[in-house]
Chain A
Amino acid sequence: MANLNDSLIADPGPEAVFRDGLTSGKFIIQKCGDCDSHIFYPRAMCPECGSIKLTSLEASGQGTVYSTSVVRNRPEQGGNFNIAIVELAEGPRLMTRVQDIEPDQVQIGMAVEAFIGAIDDTPVVLFRPAEG
């Protein structure tokens, strides 16, 4: 008989799995075992179909810029930086920064690839223009 105190959600939870992945240099997303949707950000319930049969996997890292902006700052306040929404090849979108390119040269539709970088010592998923 199942123990009523056993959680249906694996321990550690999806958020911790994602954070642990970042710490070890991996970009983890999820896939729904019922509707096959890919999911980001990490959740304990599929936002498409409500299933909790979700598995974690490493993202391909391939994506396309869905929208982009430049947050303008004076140089003494750190200068300008890019803010973008990238649509992953797997489907989900996320906020990020596209780097290794001038922030105002990032274009909607541009092919980009993910890497794990850091902002203020916090590991985050960043993107750069895709090679080739």
Chain B
Amino acid sequence: MAHDLRGAAAVVGVGLTPFGNLPGKTPFEVTAEAIHNALADAGLKKDQVDGFFTSGMGHVFHGLQAVEYFGLNPKVVDSTNIGGSSFVNCLQSAAMAIKTGACEVALIAYGSTARSNPRGGPGGGSGPNAYNPHESEYKPRNPVVSYALAAARHMHEYGTTREHLAEVAVAARRWAQKNPRAEMRDPLSVEDVLNSRMICDPFTKLDCCLVSDGGAAAILVSAERAKDFPAKPVYLLGVGSAITHEQIAQMPDLTVTAAAQSGPRAFEMAGVGRC
């Protein structure tokens, strides 16, 4: 039997901002542009939004402050912060809220100034070295060193090489070269990656993810309503979550991420067999 959430909700509007370096802006200012663009894409006014799904680093009461800033009055809010997967979590929460009738128009939005304002300040950026009571006192250069520890363990267990790891950055760059919004689009070789400055062994600067300012927003409605919107709807067929740990030393197995659980859940919901 098909999962209740399969195809229950669809994205009917998407909004993006420029990405890269957006100095002089707050995260909410960046997010506002994304929300404006998503509403315009869907042909909706903000007062039609009755569900709001967001997350961020700079505000203690993020959901409250974001609702206030954007002048929303939602019936449902989820501002759970579970790191980089927060917005997949938002997608799942939005679909559940739509399916149960808790809301009809769900807005998912995020904006960051982590690049131009990494330490926060007024309006908040996103601090990469948030306080972990049993790790921060060792001054780990997070998030890089946590991924470096996982990579070192993977190399130890599977014989993975520096060249194998560098291929990840090279592949990402090839995708960037096809993306007009991407910031770094020059050719990149495995040698370039290996020869750049070491940051946290085994990762060099060019192994590391670019930190970018930018924002994005999406609007979901029920499958029944989706047909009434100007853009072709994108139906949510499968979504999955799994949460295990925050501090890297607490990760049950450094070579197996929680995606090994969430991925199969999403495929199962969608009714898509894994190859």
Interface residues of A (CB under 8 A from B): 15, 41, 66-72, 81, 83-85, 93-97, 104, 108-109, 119-120, 122, 124
Contact = CB atoms under 8 A, between A and B. Distances in A.
A75 B160 CA distance: 30
B140 interface: yes
Interface in B122-167: 133-135, 137-141, 145, 148-150, 152-153, 156
Contacts of A109: 156
A83 B156 contact: no
Q: Among A66, A71, A84, A108, which residue has the most Cβ atoms of chain B within 10 A? A: A71
B152 A72 contact: no
Contact of A66 (B141, B153, B201, B247): B153
Contacts of A67: 149-150, 152-153, 156, 254
19 contacts: A41-B133, A41-B250, A67-B150, A67-B152, A67-B153, A69-B145, A69-B152, A70-B198, A70-B201, A71-B140, A72-B201, A81-B139, A83-B140, A94-B134, A95-B135, A97-B138, A108-B156, A109-B156, A119-B137
Nearest to A103: B201
Nearest to A94: B249
B200 A71 contact: yes
Given A85-B149, A119-B138, 6 more contacts: A70-B201, A72-B201, A83-B141, A94-B134, A95-B249, A108-B152
Interface of B: 133-135, 137-141, 145, 148-150, 152-153, 156, 197-202, 247-250, 254
Contacts of B133: 15, 41
A95 B247 contact: yes
A68, A72, A81, A109 — which one has the most chain B CB atoms within 10 A of its CB? A72
Judged by DSSP, the binding face of A is strand
B134 A69 contact: no
A114 to B, nearest CB: 13
Q: Please indicate which of the listed interface residues A81, A83, A119 has the most CB atoms of chain B within 10 Å of its own CB.
A: A83
Given A70-B201, A72-B198, A85-B249, A95 B152 contact: no
Nearest to A86: B249
Nearest to A71: B141
A109 B248 CA distance: 18
B148 A69 contact: yes
Contacts of B153: 66-67, 108
Contacts of A68: 149, 152, 201
A67 B135 CA distance: 15
Contacts of B150: 67
